[in-house]
Structure 1
């Protein structure tokens, strides 16, 4: 599926725009950033960055030259727009002012803004930018939050100037990092179908009859939202439930919910009355001429009872950067949590903190917060994705989790309610428990979207 045409010509992205966008996020990442000048040589700043992007951001090429690998914090880190790899990454000028000899501003903007997927024509069958076409896959750094490493270089340079340490932002109760546990509610009443189908294929007529009897006389195994809530609470944690308001299939036959939203009204009310955060799982559209839709407020009201201030994630992680930032401009929602690769866990924008996506049509940051998705249960074992064994899951995730903890970030985990079914032995309750036990053992702050918004808002006021 090709990318849609540009709805309007993108605005030029000047060096000043890139600098302002990146430094805004840098100041949100640390709690005590001093008011010093940072920029390129012609700015005559206190902290000088080597400008090495040339004409790249005046063109539409999705991919820059290959990065140079440099050592930082004991890791081999890819630095894009690095025109002087023979020079030290960080050095002092004769005046005593530090200089960063790789263009970390342009590199951070390239990754954080999603430049590659905006200008790439590649899309998969669901209209998503494919992981296979990303620089993260090409250069092997999907589980490294590269922008956070660039920020650490900036932080170290600033500390040379002010002679005190900058502290990473903290989370509720002084925790060094946070975990955002989410559940997309795609299915509530379909658990019986797989067992019945298997019995039919085996010609196991008594087994088929038993499955049908259980279906008509007992609660479905996936109608388990109370059990999911209790399981999460047993770890001293909280989570967010996102409901699909559409049960009709998409125009291309892709399924939406297996329930009508009114059938879930009682479950939603019980969650809200218990203080659980509920959000919108924006559906795969039934009208092929309206692939992402503009009815989010109305759909949210059907789910949450409110048209503003809601959180959302798109079904199938569908995100079209050429359409959605501008389409969402007038939608008064609180946050999105769609931006993760379906094919691999890690960092789609190479950053482990919430951020404001870039609106290329307007040439500025979006007015909504993105809480990027790091791990989806389906990614771990789906036959089209990683196919990890149950024993491989936590060891595979641990290095990524360590990176998030190192930089004081947020780990966003998506675990569908149907995967709390004990019948799932691959990405089921046991694997969820192993991840939660790890997070709890590392003193993470379990937060919901509202907590994250509050923490970011507080940080904005103190860094203003």
Structure 2
């Protein structure tokens, strides 16, 4: 166990120390404000305060972990070996940066509470982030800093044995619509036919009729392929099905269709299943509750995980709604068109509510790559390179890789050519060391 002496035990301090020490490094941590308790502790210990007590392992603290609410935080970025960091704390400290304050800034999504420009869907974009602007979005910096902290502690306490963790993967399959043509109902099918005809999309029109008449396979129906890949993997895939009402943004399958319900139950026999929250449910707790109950009726169990349409997050309201409805895990945190680490970590973390200054029970599983982010790489070779780069970064810290693919990504559509191979690279990455 690591004992931390500090001048004040704040909720922020406990939160970030537990993420770095316990969740990433696997060691228990406790805190004291009493010097005599600190001196009497005969195992690994450090002080985290403004002034060093003596010659102990000491990291000089930044004020952010002892503040409440938001303030105008000055950030000056510095290179630190192969990575970057901020909150420089001078040469007397055992580490040149206050990694705990820097990690808190990223994990709490402090910058998303500050004024910023949103995109057309009302989302915080990668280009608005500190990580993108300062060139470290491609690295799980919080985990990298944690390992630097571990190395520094190991030098001071060579007899202490740290546990080891291993690289893992958690593949996400997002299902905004289970089928392209099937189960759409008469009016939607007729509307699709008229649209295809008016835009001279005769190939699409031909495909539509072939699928509806049962002569061709629906292009979005790739579930048997994914289930077969699940059967050969040691890691559970997590599917998110949209069962919200039809709207401008969400055009899924009606949740009352028996074949659609059977599909969800079939997938749940092999994989984990969560709720893809519809666009209008993101800001309306009543709609969200209705969708949650629908999914629980289908699965016949309590809903544990969710993901929001279009990866839209409104902090802190979006997460507060999930907490109120006792949803335990969320998989929305990430960028649709940019690979990288939105919260700076490849280790799941608990949501910290900056308005209430409290650690919540909601586990945030930030995703690091969505299939759409790879489309900007034109050749398959470039896509593989981009994918392998992010896998390499996560493996360096033995983290958990969370990629998001869609059911239609595995179709024969030219746009998604080669994506089955990319998915296999991810699955195989867990077997390579």
* Normalised TM-score (structure 2): 0.81
Alignment of 1:360-439 (within 5 A): 360-381=354-375, 386=376, 388-423=378-413, 425-428=414-417, 430-437=418-425, 439=427
Distance 1:41 1:361 in 2: 26
The 1:427–1:82 alpha-carbon spacing in structure 2 relative to 1, beyond 3 Å, is farther
Aligned residue for 1:124, secondary structure, equals coil
Distance 1:43 1:256 in 2: 60
Q: How many residues align?
A: 400
Q: Which stretch has the larger CA shift, 215-224 or 135-144?
A: 215-224
- Say whether the 8 Å CA contact 1:146–1:350 is kept in structure 2: yes
Gaps of 5+ in 1: 1-13, 92-97, 171-175, 446-464
Aligned pair partner of 1:157 in 137, 152, 160 = 152
Aligned residue for 2:307, secondary structure, equals strand
Aligned residue for 1:422, secondary structure, equals coil
Deviation at 1:282, TM superposition (A): 1.2
- Say whether the 8 Å CA contact 1:63–1:135 is kept in structure 2: no
Aligned pair partner of 1:211 in 191, 207, 219 = 207
Q: Which residue of 1 aligns with 2:331?
A: 337
Aligned residue for 2:416, secondary structure, equals coil
- Deviation per residue, 1:109-130 (Å, 9 max, x gap): 1011110112234322222212
Aligned residue for 1:368, secondary structure, equals strand
- Say whether the 8 Å CA contact 1:312–1:336 is kept in structure 2: yes
Alignment of 1:155-194 (within 5 A): 155-164=150-159, 167=162, 169-170=164-165, 176-190=166-180
Distance 1:133 1:204 in 2: 38
- Say whether the 8 Å CA contact 1:122–1:133 is kept in structure 2: yes
Matched, 1:101 2:86: no
Aligned pair partner of 2:321 in 324, 327, 345 = 327
Distance 1:335 1:63 in 2: 30
Deviation at 1:353, TM superposition (A): 0.7
- Say whether the 8 Å CA contact 1:189–1:259 is kept in structure 2: no
Q: Which residue of 2 aligns with 1:244?
A: 242
Distance 2:161 2:291 in 1: 40
Aligned pair partner of 2:48 in 16, 39, 46 = 39
Aligned pair partner of 1:78 in 69, 76, 84 = 84
The 1:243–1:209 alpha-carbon spacing in structure 2 relative to 1, beyond 3 Å, is closer
Gaps of 5+ in 2: 1-7, 29-42, 183-188
Distance 2:160 2:108 in 1: 28
Deviation at 1:285, TM superposition (A): 1.2
Deviation at 1:178, TM superposition (A): 0.5
- Deviation per residue, 1:85-120 (Å, 9 max, x gap): xx4xxx7xxxxxx72232111111101111011223
Aligned residue for 1:372, secondary structure, equals coil
Aligned residue for 2:310, secondary structure, equals helix
Aligned residue for 2:147, secondary structure, equals helix
Q: Which residue of 1 aligns with 2:5?
A: none
Deviation at 1:426, TM superposition (A): 3.7
Distance 1:365 1:124 in 2: 29
Alignment of 1:452-463 (within 5 A): none
Alignment of 1:101-140 (within 5 A): 101-140=96-135
Aligned pair partner of 2:431 in 419, 428, 443 = 443
Distance 1:363 1:225 in 2: 42
CA RMSD of aligned residues (A): 3.3
Q: Which residue of 1 aligns with 2:267?
A: 271
The 1:290–1:127 alpha-carbon spacing in structure 2 relative to 1, beyond 3 Å, is farther
Q: Which residue of 2 aligns with 1:458?
A: none
- Say whether the 8 Å CA contact 1:281–1:312 is kept in structure 2: yes
